[in-house]
């Protein structure tokens, strides 16, 4: 599919709730979907550059002085893919642009444009002149309270299909404190479960869709002693596979 953006919390990679005296935590390792290889996470002084992985296997995340994610480059050495996030005057992500390096020059290949209402994202528009042939793809978000209820996928203002989400209302979503990874984790499900995984108040447990070839997905989790997500797995029918696994350091 295509890709997305928003705003980074000022604490950057440290997750902190001091009023509840919870520890501050940040990632030290991340394992990707379909892989058993843990990528180490390293931080430059000031946390302006964060490296996930190393050499040809990984990427760099770049942050501005306001601690907002502004760029991702992949791989770590001699990158040839780049993502850039632009922000509006309210501090919300206005668009996410995708580049490839061609002959030493960065060439834009498409972007996602975000619309907000009352500070909440309500629409995502895909722009890719090379592949869309004048067609306009929009994804309209519907919220119920602080949880994303559904995404209606539209082509030229005509509904195509809808994706819906279910939650465990008893479990607060610990990934909201790391929501900047929505724009930098490399997972292409930008208009599907990733929205709920990073931005909803409660933990997403199911994705159902009327889209062609889609299947119901059930999400299961393990947790650290601090209540952070240790792993996320995905069940489709009788098949189960890991999506993410994390390691942390806390203080």
Give yes or no for residue 19 having a pLDDT over 60.
Answer: no
pLDDT of residue 5: 34
pLDDT of residue 128: 78
Give yes or no for residue 3 having a pLDDT over 50.
Answer: no
pLDDT of residue 4: 39
Tell me phi and psi for residue 198, to 5 degrees.
-100, -20
Give yes or no for residue 6 having a pLDDT over 90.
Answer: no
Tell me, yes or no, if the pTM score tops 0.85. yes
Q: What is the pLDDT of residues 38-88, one digit of tens each?
A: 899 999 887 789 999 988 888 999 999 888 999 999 999 899 999 999 999
pLDDT of residue 2: 39
Domains in the chain, please, with CATH?
18-250 (2.40.160)
Q: Strand runs (DSSP E) across the chain, as ranges? A: 25-31, 38-43, 49-54, 57-63, 69-74, 81-87, 93-102, 105-117, 120-127, 137-144, 147-155, 158-172, 202-209, 217-223, 229-236, 239-250
Banded pLDDT at 183 (limits 50, 70, 90): confident
Which comes out higher in pLDDT, residue 223 or 179? Answer: 223
Any idea which of 11-20, 128-137, 181-190, 239-248 has the lowest mean pLDDT? Answer: 11-20
pLDDT of residue 208: 98
pLDDT of residue 186: 81
Which comes out higher in pLDDT, residue 44 or 173? Answer: 173
* Token duo for residue 4: 């997305």
Any idea which of 22-26, 56-60, 192-196 has the lowest mean pLDDT? Answer: 22-26
In percent, the amount of the chain with pLDDT more than 90 equals: 64
Give yes or no for residue 193 having a pLDDT over 90.
Answer: yes
pLDDT of residue 20: 53
pLDDT of residue 15: 56
Q: Are 187 and 195 in contact (CB under 8 A)?
A: no
Q: What is the mean pLDDT of the chain?
A: 87
Banded pLDDT at 136 (limits 50, 70, 90): confident
Nearest to 206 by CA among 168, 176, 151: 168
Q: What is the pLDDT of residues 206-222, one digit of tens each?
A: 999 999 999 999 999 99
Half-sphere exposure of 175 (CA within 13 A, CB side): 26
Give yes or no for residue 232 having a pLDDT over 60.
Answer: yes
């Amino acid at each position: 599919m295509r890709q997305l953006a928003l705003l980074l919390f000022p604490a950057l990679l440290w997750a902190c709730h001091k009023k509840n005296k919870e520890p501050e935590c940040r990632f030290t390792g991340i394992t990707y979907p379909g892989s058993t290889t843990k990528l180490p996470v390293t931080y430059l002084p000031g946390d302006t550059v964060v490296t996930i992985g190393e050499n040809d296997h990984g990427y760099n995340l770049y942050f501005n002085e306001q601690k907002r994610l502004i760029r991702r480059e992949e791989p770590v050495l001699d990158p040839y893919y780049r993502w850039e996030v632009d922000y509006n005057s309210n501090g919300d992500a206005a668009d996410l642009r995708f580049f490839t390096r061609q002959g030493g020059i960065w060439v834009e290949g498409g972007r996602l444009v975000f619309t907000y209402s009352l500070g909440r994202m309500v629409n995502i528009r895909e722009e890719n002149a090379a592949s869309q042939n004048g067609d306009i793809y929009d994804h309209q978000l519907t919220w119920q309270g602080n949880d994303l209820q559904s995404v209606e996928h539209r082509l030229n203002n005509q509904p195509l299909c809808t994706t819906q989400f279910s939650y465990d209302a008893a479990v607060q979503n610990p990934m909201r404190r790391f929501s900047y990874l929505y724009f930098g984790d490399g997972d292409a499900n930008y208009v599907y479960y990733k929205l709920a995984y990073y931005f909803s108040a409660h933990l997403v447990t199911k994705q159902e869709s009327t889209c062609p070839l889609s299947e119901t997905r059930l999400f299961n989790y393990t947790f650290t002693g601090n209540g952070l997500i240790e792993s996320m797995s995905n069940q489709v029918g009788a098949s189960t596979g890991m999506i993410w696994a994390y390691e942390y350091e806390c203080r």
